[in-house]
Amino acid sequence: MNKVQFYSNKDFNRAVELREIDTKPLEISFIPIFKDHFFIINSININKVVMNVPLELTSLSEKKYFLGIINNKEVWCVDLSEIAYSIISNFLTDSNLWCLRDCFHMINEKEASLLAYAKGIVNWNSTHQFCNNCGSKTITEEKGHRRKCSNNLCNSLHFPRINPAVIVLIEYKQENSPSLCLLNMHQKEYGYMCSLFSGFSEIGESLEDTVIREMKEEVNVTVNNIKYIASQPWTFPSSMMLGFSAETKNKKFKIDNKEIKEAQWFSANQITEMVQDNKLVISKKDSISNYLIEKWVKENS
């Protein structure tokens, strides 16, 4: 059974029907964002995401975007990036700024999912201020989930888009010997960090086509028996990671020396031993790469 990936929350109520309705909620909370960072209160034995700020602070920015409903309360995010940090800090004296990927281990999965959602919608609105059809200014609609060209002769509508990307665990199955997987290796001061191979889908490609092309481009490996495993929202800035496994009948590979600098075949036991000896670190725990590798190790140990 597929694990729900970090940064996703199937139970969150996005309340899409409210995006076109002007409501007067009894309660509303704003998640502040400052230049792609979030505010977290750090105290003894507790880390708390700032999910509500004074109205005096939110009134300084018009960039407010609706996220959904939690416990009958509307949840919005507010982009404070154009406000001087010295002003913001007067309101949020007990908190520190954190990049989401650096603080994911300090917060729970539901909070991480909400912050990733907020990060993505803020990024999309900030990078789509102008119409890509005529160049005129766009205005926000549907509480931040649609932008409309201000030119009456154009009137183009723009919606948030995500970029699909595949991430692939390549497996070589040996007769009478343990299966191997090919890992992308990154030299670190303490040894190696390993990850999988990935790439964006192109126009006119199926996801399976992308898997075949990207594996050929990055490590010159021909793959077959492609299987979908799981997906993960990846708002860094606007991707959807689609995890696959694939098999190859030949252990020979050749790195592209561009995106991939080093790669190596491993058995599940080799990965386990190197991790225990602190010679190898698997991708960050919040990534689907980590999930796919650990899943394969568990199944092949």
Task: Give the integer Cα–Cα distance in Å for 225 and 273.
Answer: 28
pLDDT tens across 74-121, in order? Answer: 999 999 999 999 999 999 988 999 999 999 989 999 999 999 999 999
Q: Which two tokens stand for residue 8?
A: 């996703």
pLDDT tens across 267-301, in order? Answer: 999 999 999 999 999 999 999 999 999 999 999 99
Model-wide pTM > 0.85: yes
Which of these ranges, 40-44, 66-70, 239-243, has the smallest mean pLDDT? 40-44
Model confidence band, residue 1 (pLDDT cutoffs 50, 70, 90): very low
Contact indicator for 2, 124 with CB cutoff of 8 Å? no
Tell me the mean pLDDT in the region 172-198.
Answer: 93
Task: Give the integer Cα–Cα distance in Å for 209 and 213.
Answer: 6
Contact indicator for 254, 169 with CB cutoff of 8 Å? no
Tell me the mean pLDDT in the region 122-142.
Answer: 97
Sign of CA dihedral 219, 225, 230, 233: positive
Contact indicator for 242, 228 with CB cutoff of 8 Å? yes
pLDDT tens across 212-232, in order? Answer: 999 999 999 999 999 999 999
Q: Which two tokens stand for residue 256?
A: 């592209």
Residues in the chain, total: 301
Contact indicator for 207, 244 with CB cutoff of 8 Å? yes
Task: Give the integer Cα–Cα distance in Å for 271 and 279.
Answer: 9
What burial letters (b/e) apply to 141-172, b meaning 16+ CB within 10 Å? ebbbbbbbbeeeeeeeebeeeeeebbbbbbbb
